[in-house]
Amino acid sequence: MKQRFMSILSIKKRNSVVLLCSVVLLIGTLSACINFTDGSQAFKPGTIYSSINGKQIIVHDAGNSYSIDEDGTVSISYQNGAVTTKTPLKLDMTKRAWGRGISESGFFISEDKTAIVYGSSDEKSSPLQVLISDDMGKTWNDYTIPGAKGHEFFIGFTNKNHGWLVSGASRGVASALNYVFQTSDGGKTWEEIGNPNDIYSEHLTGAGFSSKDIGFLGYRYFMDDGPVIYWTKDQGKSWDRLSVSLPEKFNQYKKDPLSPIFNGEVGLFPIALIDKDAEVVGTIFLSSKDGGLTWVYDEKYDKL
């Protein structure tokens, strides 16, 4: 059904992101649905996913998507359906697809770089793998990420060579451990950098880096109403809670930060608002003009 809607949208140029939001919601996917890139980037932006309580969220739609066939084959669609390719990755559909070791947020789909993180279904027998294509699915390479395990994955690239991965897994009620990895050779090799587990350990709802040094982890609200965001500006050597100032009218909601989006030095940080019935009622945004060093609430992007 998702592929059919994407095919319909590819017939005509989309004049409104609101139309896309409506279609995405029709197929049961919550979407922040923000596009603030102009197509002139040297490195084409990727479609970025997050998730809240099992509901997938398209944080940034770059006109690329994925689908899983009835036989379990994972396929990638580029340029709003103009190019479609099958990947070598095939899931065991006798089990839940996500239980097979693939995560809702473990995809980064750009025309310049596509990366899919996956692992074993038992989360223990082997490290995570990342399947990568640099040519819109014509060729694929599979790489191991030593030491990376878990079932909650976030992945992204800031250019063709530099990328990041966060893998996490539950360690009990309302707690999770998360580990951060980086690559500087396009995904061939990965190195673990520091993490904030000693100061805060919860389930992630978003993650992202603006550069090799500056990165963010967004956590599901728990002890307070949020948004709880920890960030580093020294490649994971230290982590601090990001101070966020929002209008008082949003105090009635709990807040889950999603994955930040960057276009050079310009950044947007989506925050999902959740009402007393645990329903997401909309998304508000922080904006940055200095690569994520400072953020301010920007009402013009609100989706309420």
Q: What is the pLDDT of residue 46?
A: 93
The three-class DSSP label of residue 203 is: coil
Q: How confident is the model at residue 157 (pLDDT cuts 50, 70, 90)?
A: very high
CA atoms of 194 and 239, how far apart (whole Å): 9
Distances (CA, A) of 202 to 53, 106, 140, 210, 277: 13, 18, 33, 22, 21
Architecture of domain 2-301: 6 Propeller (2.120)
- Asked whether the predicted pLDDT for residue 254 surpasses 70, the reply is yes
CA angle centred on 30, ends 24 and 34, rounded to 5°: 75
CA atoms of 29 and 31, how far apart (whole Å): 6
- Asked whether the predicted pLDDT for residue 133 surpasses 60, the reply is yes
Identify which of 117, 126, 213, 122 has the alpha carbon closest to the alpha carbon of residue 165: 117
Read off the pLDDT of each residue in 240-256 and give the average, rounded to a whole number: 96
Average pLDDT of the chain, as a whole number? 85
Which two three-digit tokens encode residue 99? 């239980």
Q: What is the pLDDT of residue 124?
A: 59
More confident residue, 163 or 49: 163
Q: What is the pLDDT of residue 23?
A: 34
Cα of 55 vs its chain's centroid, Å: 13
Identify which of 32, 13, 27 has the alpha carbon closest to the alpha carbon of residue 256: 32
Q: Which of 2-6, 160-164, 243-247 has the lowest mean pLDDT?
A: 2-6
User: To the nearest whole percent, how much of the chain has pLDDT over 70?
Assistant: 82
Q: What is the pLDDT of residue 31?
A: 64
Task: Give the pLDDT confidence of 13-37 residue by residue, as tens digits.
Answer: 444 333 333 333 333 456 665 666 6
Q: What is the pLDDT of residue 152?
A: 86
The three-class DSSP label of residue 239 is: coil
Name residue, tokens 């409104």.
16
CA atoms of 244 and 227, how far apart (whole Å): 8
Measured from the Cβ of residue 20, the count of other Cβ atoms closer than 10 Å reads: 20
Q: What is the pLDDT of residue 119?
A: 84
Task: Give the pLDDT confidence of 189-212 residue by residue, as tens digits.
Answer: 999 999 999 999 999 999 999 999
More confident residue, 223 or 79: 79
Which two three-digit tokens encode residue 156? 């992204």
- Asked whether the predicted pLDDT for residue 92 surpasses 50, the reply is yes
Which two three-digit tokens encode residue 253? 């909601």
CA atoms of 100 and 105, how far apart (whole Å): 14
Task: Give the pLDDT confidence of 26-66 residue by residue, as tens digits.
Answer: 334 566 656 666 666 688 889 998 888 767 889 999 999 99
CA atoms of 260 and 90, how far apart (whole Å): 29
CA atoms of 20 and 9, how far apart (whole Å): 8
Q: Which amino acid is at 3?
A: Q
User: To the nearest whole percent, how much of the chain has pLDDT over 90?
Assistant: 63
Task: Give the pLDDT confidence of 264-275 residue by residue, as tens digits.
Answer: 899 999 999 999
DSSP 172-198: ETTEEEEEEEEESSTTSS-EEE---TT
The three-class DSSP label of residue 160 is: coil
Identify which of 221, 223, 297, 210 has the alpha carbon closest to the alpha carbon of residue 259: 210
Q: How confident is the model at residue 234 (pLDDT cuts 50, 70, 90)?
A: very high
Strand arrangement, sheet containing 83-90: 65-68, 73-78, 83-90
Strand arrangement, sheet containing 175-183: 152-157, 163-172, 175-183, 191-193
Q: What is the pLDDT of residue 22?
A: 34
> pTM (2 decimals)?
0.85
